[in-house]
Chain A
């Protein structure tokens, strides 16, 4: 009698242990987030700000109410997509850091729907197709260069980012310019806009587009043969080739999917972000700049898993939304750029595997705790068998 009870208890403890080890990646992300925020706090302190007040303002501004929460979700919407760009290619074993440029092209392509009239519904779909196509084309060229000429994708995608930036600026200033307001492109008509989801905020239905795309990617990567091939090629290209997987095909596929995601990210800004529904040209494409790079941070913290990315995007969207509040916060206005400093520090922390080992104390206690759980489980097992 006591044997069965012991068995169920040990199963429970083993379950706890397994959950803890399963949560390990999430805990690592959390730890990296804390380290990043700490480094940000130290820098703020050095520059003479009060980090405590600043973070209080930031997190209130990010998650303090339904308006703030919607705003964070809206900032996270494009980040989910650009993070997917990075993650899909990383799963296939490549570093595609071209989300930035692919997103510019997607954004510009979706502005083109302002040029013709279509019924609502169809108009949005056409815009999304334009954006996806532009993003895919922009990422296919680096993939092609890698395949035929062996050009490393890090170099080619960065060069394409800069080319895209200047091309997008040219198109925004000369081809799609609003004749009444030269600083921005044409605004897309109401029939092509995604409606606002929460009244009074800038959160629109594009959030569902992002989440749905993430789920589709999850399905493709983990529940289809093609996805299996992509992941296998990423884990060990040689073994995958021996297993009959065509690495070239998986490479092209991951780049195309990544490009589509980044293109859609540009479209979510143009078609789903009130109030302008257009791209500001000027010198620097302010609404789009850095969304692609921030996406890489999101991907890393989300452990390159679509579900993790959705959670991480909420966090980084919150940083961006809260940062906007923080920079106007009374006596302690910390510039929004601090948010990117924190992001960089988080990515640096994420790049260290087993970050926790750098904290010997934490590590000692952690391993002791796990060892304790294990010992209890083993003792119960012994008692059960005896």
Chain B
């Protein structure tokens, strides 16, 4: 294994880290406010698709923005259903995932080829040339965002209100905080970050979109949130661990010699996720009111 190999492995891992970290950070905010969004997988998928469409219409920036917008819209829908309309969050999330599966597969057929679609390099986000090779600028966003969110949650009044809405909605309500509105805002923000992650995958990283594009990344992000115990900085670390094993799986597949069948390599990220999550549980404490719609008595 030469230095070049190690560098390319690191490069792939950093790229694979971005969607997981962004989605996980967004979900940290949402779960702090008390909503458990398992529709992240669907948000990643839909926003990757819409982002690719946007990029083809108006360039990479439009693509990313449309991804963010789509993610925010789906996050908003999810949060309105599970706050004001008192929906069951799990079922809503499952609905979003199913809808996304159908919607993207349907859209891909409408674009021509069933199952996948290439995003031209001309409309992809340009990569920066660094000593380590071509790197996407969004890696920087994934590295900075956790610190911003950490500062927001720990050091601002709004962050404290967010926490109150998740820990003790009654008390927050009595203190004059609009619990439902806070939850909607938090989850919409989480959806927007997941949307950025989705658009990044199609517009800035892989340059294509397939009908099962998200490949469990939304759920891996949920695992990452569990691992982090709602600490954004640990979520960054978790994102890097999960990204590394995804990168490792991709990297092993590019090796000329095939030591193990590719199917087993593809399993690796999921097995690692299970191992990490089952090791992390026990020290993690989640908000008391998570997953429960707030109803005034």
Q: Does A20 contact B (CB under 8 A)?
A: no
Docked CA distance A340–B82 (Å): 22
**Which B25-59 residues sit within 8 Å CB-CB of chain A?**
38, 42
> Could you tell me if A344 and B222 are in contact, using CB atoms closer than 8 angstroms?
no
Least Cβ–Cβ distance between A347 and chain B, in angstroms: 3
Question: Which chain A residues lie closer than 8 Å to B38 at the CB level?
Answer: 154
**Which A167-215 residues sit within 8 Å CB-CB of chain B?**
167, 169-170, 173-174
> Could you tell me if A344 and B99 are in contact, using CB atoms closer than 8 angstroms?
yes
Which of B8-16, B101-109, B128-136, B159-167 has 4 or more CB atoms under 8 Å from chain A?
A: B101-109
Q: How large is the interface on B (under 10, 10 to 19, 20 to 34, 35 or more residues)?
A: 35 or more
Docked CA distance A159–B98 (Å): 17
Q: Does A372 contact B (CB under 8 A)?
A: no
Residue in B closest to A294 when the chains form the complex, CB atoms: B98
Q: Is the interface of B mostly helix, strand, loop or mixed?
A: helix
Least Cβ–Cβ distance between B89 and chain A, in angstroms: 8
Known interface pairs A149-B281, A162-B270, A348-B96; 20 further A-B residue pairs with C-beta atoms within 8 A, sorted by A's residue number: A47-B110, A149-B282, A152-B226, A154-B38, A154-B222, A159-B223, A159-B271, A162-B267, A163-B267, A170-B261, A174-B261, A337-B103, A338-B106, A341-B99, A343-B102, A346-B95, A347-B94, A351-B88, A352-B87, A353-B88
> Could you tell me if A154 and B110 are in contact, using CB atoms closer than 8 angstroms?
no
Q: Does A156 contact B (CB under 8 A)?
A: yes
Question: Which chain B residues lie closer than 8 Å to A47 at the CB level?
Answer: 106, 110
The answer, among A155, A161, A344, A358, for a CB contact under 8 Å with B103, is A344
> Could you tell me if A159 and B273 are in contact, using CB atoms closer than 8 angstroms?
yes
Contact with A along B262-277 (1 / 0, CB 8 A): 0110110011011001
Q: How many residues of A contact B (CB 8 A)?
A: 51
> Could you tell me if B222 and A351 are in contact, using CB atoms closer than 8 angstroms?
no
Q: Does B278 contact A (CB under 8 A)?
A: yes
**Residue of B85, B226, B261, B270 with highest tally of chain A CB at under 10 A:** B270
Docked CA distance A337–B104 (Å): 9
Do A358 and B98 contact each other (CB < 8 Å), given the known contacts A152-B226, A154-B219? no
Question: Which chain A residues lie closer than 8 Å to B98 at the CB level?
Answer: 293-294, 296-297, 340, 343-344, 347
Question: Which chain A residues lie closer than 8 Å to B101 at the CB level?
Answer: 290, 293, 340, 344
**Which B276-294 residues sit within 8 Å CB-CB of chain A?**
277-279, 281-282
> Could you tell me if B102 and A163 are in contact, using CB atoms closer than 8 angstroms?
no
Docked CA distance A163–B95 (Å): 23
> Could you tell me if A341 and B102 are in contact, using CB atoms closer than 8 angstroms?
yes
Q: Does A216 contact B (CB under 8 A)?
A: no
Residue in A closest to B224 when the chains form the complex, CB atoms: A155
Which A-B residue pairs are the 10 nearest by beta carbons?
A: A344-B99, A340-B102, A347-B95, A344-B98, A348-B95, A341-B102, A351-B91, A170-B263, A337-B106, A337-B105
